[in-house]
Amino acid sequence: MRELHLVKDVLAKDIVLEANRKGFGRGLLAIGKINENIVAACADLTESTQIHLFAEAFPERFIEVGVAEQNLATLGSGLSAMGKIPFISSYAAFSPGRNWEQIRTTICLNDRPVKIVGAHAGLYTGADGATHQVLEDIALMRALPNMAVIVPGDSVEAEKAVAAMANDHRPNYLRLTREPTPVLTTSKTPFEIGKAYVYAEGKDLTVISTGVMTYQAMVAAEHLFKEGIDLEVIHVPTIKPLDSLTILHSVHKTKKVITVEEHQINGGLGGAVAELLAEEFPVPVKRIGVRDKFGQSGKPDELLEHYGLTSKHIMAQARKMVK
Amino acid sequence: MTKSLSIAELEQKATEIRESIIRMLEHAGSGHSAGSLGLADIFTALYFDILKCEPKKPDWDGRDILLLSNGHTVPVQYAALAHAGYFPKGELITLRRFGSRLQGHPERTKLPGLETTSGPLGCGLSQAAGMALAMRMDKITHRWVYVVMGDGELDEGNIWEAAMLAGKYKLSNVIGIIDRNNIQIDGPTESVMPLENLHEKWEAFGWHVLEIDGNNMQEIIDACALARSIIEKPVVIIAHTIPGKGVDFMEYDFHWHGKAPNKEEAKKALNELRTLKGKIRSEHE
Ligand SMILES: [Mg+2]
């Protein structure tokens, strides 16, 4: 674990909390200073998607499109055609939620490396309710040829993801979370698009998690270790392309898998892992996520509890599978 | 390329492009006849007179950009590109076949000379706006982005989102050309979803609007020249065209929107293109 430079104690009461969208905003500003070809556009949500930091620093490289997500995506395609590297932001429910076909045709099929930033994804969107808590965006983007799908685990990783995206020659989707969540990684923690990372080594069962759910997986692993159950935790910040080598290497050892994501269990990380293992190494897989339901208003903690997405739920599932 | 064709020569070229379109569609057995024929004069004018372009260097960075937003009319673009020398004319009859660079709807990554991938409607204008904004950021002047749109396509909200944005940013190097042929798949545009008053709609969105006979070579060329000289706002040219123009039994008939001629019809069409009384002027002067 040492080479990953994670924070020392995930159970610490004073673990730093920060929304990963903040990391995105900082990262875009930083890369914007280095690379003049970086441009940005937003659909009337500059501050909440944190793209305002870039917009204020580089007003001549920022385009406000208004509440028009179809235009946001296609405008991005046009900017990219002229050699720009456009980061386009909105809430994930609207982009890529509303403009999926524009993304498919004018970005993916047209092979224009536009960077789609979907903020306020998942249950952490909280009080806004089901309309805004998009739980299907990973599935939407994962189905598209050419697209890389990135779901950072914390703000520090999100910041690194922006720099990696700017240098990636594919269209990318970056999924972000509204509320502050624990920061697990440090500036020295590696991040590469397409790589998964073994955050905790163990032999009894592999927990494969993405985004802010990796924190819940790490907490579960700490507690279960004291009970004599040894979980391996793999953090998967890139859902597509999936790092099948890292996953298969672990599963050959443990032969049991739980996937954890703040997304529908269909079509997201759980789907991707189940597809991989069904073809390459069939073992028992249990998917933790939202089970074919919409979200609702509430505090993130209440929602995670209601939909079964906390460390407690991971622990209960692991105990059942490791007897 | 040197552009020194007379109006009569351009009209002759448009007839040749129409002949290619008929042959391509007949070979393919499917495709969109009416819009492709109706746009033949506009595409001839663009590739043989209006656009700064180098057919042997399709990526030349001084070129004007032409986006075809209503991708289903791509046979006219393929034919014009081949006649202009972007690729061999012999390849035209591979349209819509397995392994062809000439996909049923245009794919940029497959064929040099295409500037985007289109077919799903309503997406061209906003790409043009993105290109124009990028040029402005890079202080590039004297390059224009032409975007050809269908009229049925104007039902799409994405068009009006882009129209609003181009008006806001006063993107004067965007020139929209609307193929106003009054038909779409389900029938006349005004019964499917009324577009009028189209002229006033575009003006209300901050555009300068020109209206022309889109089958008149001189008017097409003059309108584009005027459009380039207007630097205060984006310009849209409402080009009134005859769907199926040049083939009597296809003209004005919306049933030919999404249909290709069979062998007999193609023969009849080719014959008409060469003999049609007065409709293709160059043939009869
Ligand atoms: Mg029409």
Read off the pLDDT band of B225 (50, 70, 90).
Answer: very high
Which residues of chain B does A80 touch, with a Cβ-Cβ cutoff of 8 Å? 130
How many structural domains compose chain A? 2
A158 and A52 both lie in a single domain: yes
pLDDT on residue B283: 45
Which DSSP state fits B151? S
Q: Are residues A114 and A228 in the same domain?
A: no
A94, A99, A110: best to mutate for the B interface, most B CBs within 10 A: A110
CATH number of B7-274: 3.40.50.970
* pLDDT for residue A60: 98
Helix H, strand E, coil C: the string for chain A is: CHHHCCCCCCCCCCCCEECHHHHHHHHHHHHHHHCCCEEEEECCCCCCCCCHHHHHHCHHHEEECCCCHHHHHHHHHHHHHCCCEEEEEEECCCCCCCCHHHHHHHHHHCCCCCEEEEECECHHHHHHCCCCCECCHHHHHHCCCCCEEECCCCHHHHHHHHHHHHCCCCCEEEECCCCCEECCCCCCCCCCCCCCEEEECCCCEEEEECCCHHHHHHHHHHHHHHCCCCEEEEECCEEECCCHHHHHHHHHHHCCEEEEEEEECCCCHHHHHHHHHHHHCCCCEEEEEECCCCCCCCCHHHHHHHHCCCHHHHHHHHHHHCC
Contact B172, B229 (CB under 8 A): no
Give CA angle at A30 (A156, A18), nearest 5°: 30
Q: Which of A158, A182, A206 corresponds to the end of one domain?
A: A182
Write down which residue in A182, A209, A224 finishes a domain.
A182
Nearest CA in chain B to A110: B117
pLDDT of B171 higher than 50? yes
A176 lies in the same domain as A234: no
Same domain, A115 and A255: no
pLDDT value, residue A1:
46
Q: Are A175 and A222 found together in one domain?
A: no
3-state secondary structure of B40: helix
Please state the length of chain B: 285
What's the pLDDT at B284?
41
Given an 8 Å threshold on Cβ–Cβ distance, is B129 in contact with A75?
A: yes
pLDDT at B249: 94
In chain A, residues with a C-beta closer than 8 Å to the C-beta of B108 are 110-111
For B240-251, write each residue's pLDDT tens digit.
999 999 999 999
User: B278 pLDDT exceeds 50?
Assistant: no
Distance from the alpha carbon of residue A295 to the mean position of ligand 1, in angstroms: 43
The overall average pLDDT reported for chain B is 95
- CA-CA distance, A177 to A211, in Å (whole number)? 9
Q: What is the pLDDT of residues B77-115, one digit of tens each?
A: 999 999 999 999 999 999 999 999 999 999 999 999 999
Q: Indicate if A136 and A238 belong to the same structural domain.
A: no
Assess whether A159 and A22 both reside in one domain. yes
pLDDT of res. A182 = 98
Do A171 and A274 share a domain, yes or no? no
Residues A256 and A321: beta-carbon distance below 8 Å: yes
Walking along chain A (323 residues) 10 residues at a time, the average pLDDT comes out as 86 97 98 98 97 98 98 98 98 98 98 98 96 98 98 98 98 98 98 98 98 98 97 98 98 98 98 98 98 98 98 98 93
Q: Taking the mean position of all CA atoms in its chain, how far away is CA B106?
A: 13
Catalytic residues of A: 69
**CA A95 / ligand 1 centre spacing (Å):** 30
Range of the domain at A259: 197-322
Spell out the domain ranges in chain B: 7-274
Predicted local distance difference test score (pLDDT) of residue B275: 72
- Residue A33 included in any domain: yes
The share of chain B scoring above pLDDT 70, in percent, equals 95
Give the residue from A218, A231, A280 showing the smallest Cα distance to A6: A218
- Are B110 and B87 within 8 A, CB to CB? no
Q: Which of A123, A153, A182 is where one domain is finished?
A: A182
Tell me which residues of chain A have a C-beta less than 8 Å from any C-beta of chain B. 39, 60-61, 63, 65-66, 68, 70-71, 74-84, 86, 101-102, 105-106, 109-111
Distance from Cα B185 to the centre of ligand 1, integer Å: 8
Q: How far is the CA of B191 from the centre of ligand 1 (A)?
A: 12
Please indicate, yes or no, whether residues A41 and A171 belong to a single structural domain of this protein: yes
A163 and A212 co-located in one domain: no
DSSP B172: T
Q: State whether A232 and A108 are in the same domain.
A: no
Taking residues B46-61, report their average pLDDT: 97
Same domain, A83 and A152: yes
Residue B276 has a pLDDT of 55
Confidence (pLDDT) at A101: 98
